[in-house]
Amino acid sequence: MFTLNIATFRALFPLYSNETTYPDALITMNWDTATLYISADDYGWLSGTSRERSIYLMAAHITALSDIISSGQNPSLVSASSIDKISVTLVPPPVKNQFHWWLSTTPYGAQLLALLKMSAVGGMYVGGSAERSAFR
């Protein structure tokens, strides 16, 4: 089971190194929320360092989203903007996969999404004799 190391979190994400703006309690709360999305138990296809880093990235993603929302902005992807007569065009969330869209709203979420996709690539066929087992 992975537990939060605040010093490691602050080292991985220097943006959150200011202890006044980002107190330990806030980071701990966001870590706890991150473990609701990604289990802290080390099992399954996402294991070891990949699982630990995924939880840290999810906590950073949640922290970044909190910053965006508290600044009065909408956490969306911008597809176009203009200055005169102020115009901003936002990318609508894709209908098929809201979770991928949500992760794409911050750099940490995009990095997490890439890590999750790479960790889930491939598969393992188990059954029959040892000679028949193979990656598919």
Q: State how far the Cα of 28 lies from the Cα of 136, in Å rounded to an integer.
A: 40
What are the tens digits of pLDDT across the range 35-78? 999 999 988 878 889 999 999 999 999 999 999 888 887 776 66
CB neighbour class for 68 (10 Å; exposed up to 12, middle 13-18, buried from 19):
middle
Predicted model pTM: 0.77
pLDDT band at 24 (very low <50, low <70, confident <90, very high): very high
Rounded to an integer, what distance in angstroms lies between the CA atom of residue 44 and that of residue 14?
30
